[in-house]
Amino acid sequence: MRISTSSPKAAALLHTALPLLFWLGLWWLLAACIDQELLVPSPLAVAQELTALAVTAHFWHSVAISLLRIFCGVAAGVLLGSLCAVATCRWPLADHLLSPAIRVIRATPVASFIILVLLWVQTGAVPGVIAALMVLPIMWESIDTGIRSTDPALLEFARAYRLSRRQTALHVYLPAIRPFFTAGICTSIGLAWKSGVAAEVLCLPRAAIGAEVYYAKIYLETPALFAWTITVIVLSLLVERVIRRLLAGRPTGKGGDRI
């Protein structure tokens, strides 16, 4: 469906607002038909609950701690995935030993990892470890693909002009890897965020969004459950948007980009 307006900003706003209004209307209709707040609270009830939460220090403390845990896990996953990719591309033995293990990590269910990691590390560290484990295989595959797809002509050029390994890495490999790295980061951020919150739901650390989701479910506070879930979704979209703009080298203040 195409919507033409005289202003590009108005068109962008309209394209964003229409799906939002459609799904809000459908949600409101469903809540009105069921008429049971315990099952499906209305958008107004959830908005009121979210507003009440947002003015409390506990809400922002929980958000900040969850973000910190998961960002630390993402950073660790990016570092480990990058090192593994370099190793598997550089040494055949490392490829033979590491590649199967990384593929096993990618294939293992998140719930199994959460339960196992909960046995090995402190409760507060579980979400970060889980986020790192989710990011590692994605970044390894992305960077490994980027390295192996480097233009052989450029590598031959670097050898012909006797560029050092550092110069070759900076001027040949890094430009080839960058689009794969960006795609890997954007893919892994959402997965790490969801997995980290799921880990918080199961291990219940102090000051965590996942713990608040669990308590809202236990005490049958459905509006609060919806409010915390919306918080997770909004934070995931915002974090992904900021990461995309940072990797693209553009400031976050300009509009016009889509998630």
The residue ranges of every structural domain in the chain are 57-248
| pLDDT, tens digit, 9 for 90 and up, residues 158-213 | 888 788 888 888 888 888 898 899 889 988 888 899 899 999 999 988 889 999 99
Q: 207: left (phi > 0), else alpha (psi -120 to 50), else beta?
A: left
Percent of the chain exceeding pLDDT 90 equals 41
pLDDT at 196: 92
Cα(125)–Cα(72) distance, integer angstroms: 10
Superfamily of 57-248 according to CATH: MetI-like (1.10.3720.10)
Most trustworthy range by pLDDT among 5-19, 23-37, 190-204: 190-204
pTM assigned to the model: 0.81
Asked if the model's pLDDT at residue 6 lies above 70, the reply is no
Cα(108)–Cα(121) distance, integer angstroms: 19
Residues 6 or more apart in contact with residue 184 via CB below 8 angstroms: 81, 138, 139, 141, 142, 143
Cα(20)–Cα(16) distance, integer angstroms: 7
Asked if the model's pLDDT at residue 214 lies above 90, the reply is yes
Mean pLDDT over residues 142-165, rounded? 84
Closest Cα to residue 130, out of 115, 113, 116? 113
Q: 249: left (phi > 0), else alpha (psi -120 to 50), else beta?
A: left
Mean pLDDT over residues 214-227, rounded? 92
pLDDT at 259: 34
